[in-house]
Amino acid sequence: MPAKKAAADKKAEAKKATKKAEAKAAAAKEEPAPAPAAEKRKAEEPTEEVAAAEPAKKEAKVDTPEEKEVDAPKDTRKKLGEEVVFKTEDTTLNVIPLLNGKVLASLTDGGLQYLIAGAKANVGVKAGRYMFEVKIMETIQIHEQGGYKSPAAKPVVRVGFSTESSSLLLGDGEEQVFFDADGGFTAGKKRILQGRRFLRDQTVAVVLNLDPKSENKNTISMFVDGVRACQPQALPESLEGKTLFPHVGFRNVKVQTNFGPTPTKELPFACRMVSDISAADAEKSKKPDSKGSYEVVLPIAYPDEGTFEWLDKFLAEHPQYVELSDRKFLQWASASGLIRGKGHGKGHSNDKPDFAFGVSGIDDFTYRKVLNSVVGLMPRNYVVMEVKSNLIEDDRKEILKRFSDPCFKKVAKVVMGQPPAAWIEAQHEKMLKDKQAKATGLWKAKKMEKERKRELKLAQKKAEAEKKKKIEEFERKKKEALERKKAAEESKKKAEEKKEGEEKKEGEEEKKEEEEKKEEEKKEEEKKEEEATPMEVEEEEEPDEPEPVAELTEEEKKAWFAPRILPDLTPRDFGKSFTKFSLPSEAEGFSKVDFEWAKKGAAEKYLKEKVLEKKKTSRVDDIRPSEWFQETSTAFTKQFAAWQAKQVAWKNSEAGKKAAAAKKDEDAEEPDIEGVEDVNDVNGEPLFKDFALEDWALTVLRYEFYLLQAAFKKDVDDEERPGIQEEHFLFYYNRYFKEPLNLREYGVETLDALVKLVDDTAYVTPDRVLESQIGAEMETFNIFVKLTEEARRHRLLRLELGDESAKLSVTATTQLSGKTNHKKGGGKTSSEKGSWSSAGKGKKGGSPQAPPAGKGLVPTISASASSSPSQSGSPAVVGPPSHVGKSGGKDGKGKDKGSWSYGYSYAGPSTVGGAAAAAAAAAERQHAAMAPIGSGGPIGGGGGSGGGGSGGYSSSKASGKGGSSSYSYGKSPAAGKGKPGYASKGSSPYAAPAPAYASKGKGKAPAGRHVPPPRR
């Protein structure tokens, strides 16, 4: 029954209270159940057990302190006479005041729902006892959209007091005391559980007692619905004697505030409210009254030169201003409990920090749009700190548009040039402090390491001593055991000898004396050994070094600004924007422009010099190759193809062979290079006839150095940029030629060494700027051949004189840089699909053999190319043949002729029958070891190369119907290893790195197969 259950519960409480109650409760169980009427009366009236427990309950209440607060006496002093409110400038940016500030709400869009709002009253308490009330009117539920994983934005309510200079966010300062809705009390950032929770529709009163006559002086208390929720909490010593202002913090709730004069819920004692404060006990906010006029300040400072340091100093001197910056928002989010992820801090700056909170609306910067839309609607004094945007005219105009209301006065503060002496002194103090901290840290670490080594050494010595002691003890016991054994044996022997007769008694006594003498000598020796044992001498420890005293170097003393760990702008942002930097003017919409450091003329000069200096060292990240570069590159590609084809044709011609033979017999006089007008025809022969692989490679390198320098100056179109900085050369090379430059392919490790190879074309200035020795405009590209030939002759002369340093170690191919499409077969252009042509049935090649006499293997220069005029690429070239194997077949006239298989490398813009192909084909027809080349040869439709491809072939049945052909791609002209059924079998010393492909004996091979370009 319910009455009986209630009685049992009360009996349990009485049982815990006293032993007497337990005994009586046990006795009551034995009594019969009462009548229904009596049972009802028993449920309504206290039971005997409860009555017995009453003394114990009264004893428990004795520990609860009695209310020491008394009714406030009548105060006849003069009232303050000013309304206590939350002014707009005393609230955070997300606070929305309603009903003249009596109700406070917050923004809940664009990530602001995760930020705590704060509001501080305009009147503070410096004496007496006063209270104010807060009630939660509504709790706002936040639902994250878009599936974005974010931390919970739980409702928060904090009520307390703080100093005027403390942060607007309760919990973000040392000079704050407050209670929270979760039952916690925080003082000086230290939180403890003290009090009780409070919920929606409950009235919370906070009482601040600064009355020196009260027993609860310098305390703060909380009451919920008029009932004390905790005992008075002492104020931190740092807050004693200071004026404290009512302060509220909240998130995702609407709160109602009441400063009086009448409380919503009466307390156990009469207490005056803040709005009823006497003038002697109050202090107004020291922030100047704006009187309806506000300022928007834009600091204009060069990056990393006192930007945020000046701002911090300005805000400390002008606390009525509110900072608008990503730095401030980051601090706000962190103070609201958001935690940044592990990936933050990479590639960010002071101006635009990386948040990485994992919160939509904040990480994607939606909050900026929300705040920018409301700041102009909530008049207050602002400082807009955007380092980059404040330096760019167009960005400044966009910022000023947010503050179109006439109440805003726009002011630019130019912080540029040489700072005042006090500023420089403060910066030097900071530098010295940081340097001292670093030196002290290293000194302490060194000292700790020394102590650690000393303790380790002592431990090792102690361990060695223990070990030695144990060994000595073991040896001693062992020795004693041997002596006892020996003594026992001797005693036994003596007993036996005693039985033999008394005649030996005298001898035994002598022997005993002798043994005693030996024992004494033994003891003497042990004593001497102990005395002779050297005592361990404690090594003298080196005295500890005194703590170092840091000093600034002469160079540091000349600096105006302390170095930064994090830059104001990222290198990319700095490089893309610094050319737009300018100083503000009133024409942009500013009411006035103040020059804080240098005057206007000096500041303009300073900025111009800084921009010019930056231009000399910065990288142009957004540069793109112009049309002029593309056209020039295409023209050189064609010219280079013609040069290489000319060299091949010359070497394979009768005149070229005779000239080569004549040169071996006697030294022929070299033509004068300066007088050469046509490098293709110097007394009937090309100037580049003797070029080897390294010469062609250096010709291309000279061209690339020239073209890169000329194109850069044209594309940048800025006379203040002298040229390409050495440190950025590889970046620009990659940007223009679409591939990295491998220095090791030229046998060097540094750019200086590479430039030295072509110092007749380029050089590095003392300012580390790469300059060209060739004019930007030229009618022909002959200069590159001339310079290469002159360098080649000079190199050979040095080698003849024994200068081994003249040797080159060039492994680079003459592949011109650029994007190319590589396709095979059919003579098609790169934009079309090529196909394999049919070929006659050839015989299987024999095993590798030596080449015919006089037909040595010559390395071939292969190249990639583009068949499209709009792409830069390399020229067509057919290299000299290399030996693969021997195969049988018939020539074009039907005559049997065993022929050697040769591989050829061919690349270029190809429509079949082009000039380069025709020249190469004509040259090959004169080769003694080759059968005539028909339409199925390496240049014709069957073995021809597609756009940019590289073709090789084996001549086994070069007839008009088409011979078997192979296809290879790589630096070497050889076809590589053949396969059964292919035209040739065997391998060449110059085998290509990629496998060769050949048309099979019958039918057609697959069409449109792609061969990737080789990498450097």
According to DSSP H, which parts of 853-948 are helical?
Answer: 915-924
pLDDT at residue 507, rounded to an integer: 59
pLDDT at residue 504, rounded to an integer: 59
Helix, strand, coil percentages for the chain (3-state, nearest 5): 35, 15, 50
Query: Tell me: the pLDDT tens digits for 727-740?
Result: 899 999 999 999 99
pLDDT higher at 667 or 310: 310
Closest CA to 810 of 875, 733, 744: 744
Please report, for the chain, how many H helices and E strands are present, in that order: 20, 30
Average pLDDT of 603-613? 93
pLDDT at residue 250, rounded to an integer: 96
What does the alpha-carbon distance between residue 740 and residue 526 come to, in Å, rounded to a whole number? 82
Are 642 and 687 contacting, i.e. CB atoms less than 8 angstroms apart? Answer: no
| Residues 485-500 as b or e (16 or more Cβ within 10 Å = b) | eeeeeeeeeeeeeeee
Residue 449 pLDDT exceeds 80: yes
Are 389 and 395 contacting, i.e. CB atoms less than 8 angstroms apart? Answer: yes
Distances (CA, A) of 537 to 461, 466, 529, 534, 869: 12, 17, 18, 9, 89
What does the alpha-carbon distance between residue 943 and residue 924 come to, in Å, rounded to a whole number? 14
Distances (CA, A) of 789 to 272, 288, 774: 102, 82, 16
- Please report, rounded to a whole number, the percentage of residues in the chain having pLDDT higher than 90: 41
pLDDT at residue 941, rounded to an integer: 32
In angstroms, how far is CA 516 from the centroid of its own chain?
Answer: 87
Token pair 């308490």 is found at: 125
Tokens of 683: 């007394």
pLDDT at residue 883, rounded to an integer: 34
What does the alpha-carbon distance between residue 459 and residue 631 come to, in Å, rounded to a whole number? 79
* pLDDT confidence bin for 648, thresholds 50/70/90: very high
What does the alpha-carbon distance between residue 948 and residue 830 come to, in Å, rounded to a whole number? 7
pLDDT at residue 164, rounded to an integer: 92
| Residues 689-706 as b or e (16 or more Cβ within 10 Å = b) | bbbebbbbbbbbbbbbbb
Residue 981 pLDDT exceeds 50: no
* pLDDT confidence bin for 143, thresholds 50/70/90: low
Q: Which of 489-493, 502-506, 569-573, 640-644 has the lowest mean pLDDT?
A: 502-506
pLDDT at residue 144, rounded to an integer: 58
Average pLDDT of 471-496? 86
- Tell me the one-letter amino acid at 760: D
Query: In sequence order, what are the beta bridge partners of 256?
Result: 103, 135
pLDDT higher at 547 or 131: 131
- Tell me the one-letter amino acid at 956: S
Residue 45 pLDDT exceeds 80: no
pLDDT higher at 513 or 466: 466
The angle at the Cα of 465, spanning 459 to 471, to the nearest 5 degrees, equals 140
Q: How many Cβ atoms from other residues are within 10 Å of residue 3's Cβ?
A: 17
Query: Tell me: the pLDDT tens digits for 329-382?
Result: 999 999 998 888 776 656 688 999 888 888 888 888 889 999 998 898 888 999
- Tell me the one-letter amino acid at 441: G
Q: How many Cβ atoms from other residues are within 10 Å of residue 241's Cβ?
A: 11
Residue 966 pLDDT exceeds 60: no
For every residue of 953-978, DSSP letters joined together read: ---S---TT----EE--SSS-S----
- Please report, rounded to a whole number, the percentage of residues in the chain having pLDDT higher than 70: 67
What does the alpha-carbon distance between residue 104 and residue 102 come to, in Å, rounded to a whole number? 7
For the packed helices 627-652 and 915-924, what is the interaxial angle rounded to 10 degrees?
A: 10
Token pair 């994607």 is found at: 364
Residue 950 pLDDT exceeds 70: no
Find the farthest-apart pair of alpha carbons in the chain and give their distance in angstroms, rounded.
147
pLDDT at residue 844, rounded to an integer: 39
Average pLDDT of 941-969? 33
pLDDT higher at 251 or 930: 251
For every residue of 238-281, DSSP letters joined together read: GGTTS-BEEEEEEESEEEEEE--SS-SS--SS---BGGG-BGGG
Residue 535 pLDDT exceeds 80: no
pLDDT higher at 258 or 840: 258
For the packed helices 782-800 and 693-716, what is the interaxial angle rounded to 10 degrees?
A: 140
* pLDDT confidence bin for 852, thresholds 50/70/90: very low
Q: Which helix (H) or strand (E) holds 451?
A: helix 421-500
As a whole number, the mean pLDDT across the chain is 74
Residue 209 pLDDT exceeds 60: yes
pLDDT at residue 132, rounded to an integer: 97
pLDDT at residue 663, rounded to an integer: 67
Residue 677 pLDDT exceeds 70: yes
The sign of the dihedral angle between the CA atoms of 669, 675, 678, 684 is negative
Tokens of 932: 């005539």
Residue 662 pLDDT exceeds 80: no
pLDDT higher at 19 or 904: 19
Residue 126 pLDDT exceeds 90: yes
Tokens of 218: 């310098």
What does the alpha-carbon distance between residue 508 and residue 437 come to, in Å, rounded to a whole number? 86
What beta strand segments (E) does 873-941 contain?
877-878, 882-887, 899-903, 906-907
Burial, 799: exposed, middle or buried (Cβ in 10 Å; 0-12, 13-18, 19+)? middle
Residue 743 DSSP SS3: helix
pLDDT at residue 120, rounded to an integer: 95
pLDDT at residue 988, rounded to an integer: 35
Average pLDDT of 743-766? 90
Residue 880 pLDDT exceeds 90: no
Closest CA to 856 of 691, 708, 657: 657
What does the alpha-carbon distance between residue 873 and residue 871 come to, in Å, rounded to a whole number? 6
The sign of the dihedral angle between the CA atoms of 724, 728, 730, 731 is negative
Query: Tell me: the pLDDT tens digits for 782-841?
Result: 999 999 999 999 999 999 898 888 888 888 765 554 433 333 333 333 333 333 333 333
What does the alpha-carbon distance between residue 933 and residue 890 come to, in Å, rounded to a whole number? 12
pLDDT at residue 510, rounded to an integer: 64
Are 228 and 221 contacting, i.e. CB atoms less than 8 angstroms apart? Answer: yes
* pLDDT confidence bin for 904, thresholds 50/70/90: very low
Distances (CA, A) of 436 to 298, 445, 448, 545, 560: 35, 14, 18, 15, 19
* pLDDT confidence bin for 630, thresholds 50/70/90: very high
Are 977 and 877 contacting, i.e. CB atoms less than 8 angstroms apart? Answer: no
What does the alpha-carbon distance between residue 896 and residue 631 come to, in Å, rounded to a whole number? 50
What beta strand segments (E) does 19-155 contain?
95-98, 103-106, 117-120, 123-125, 129-139
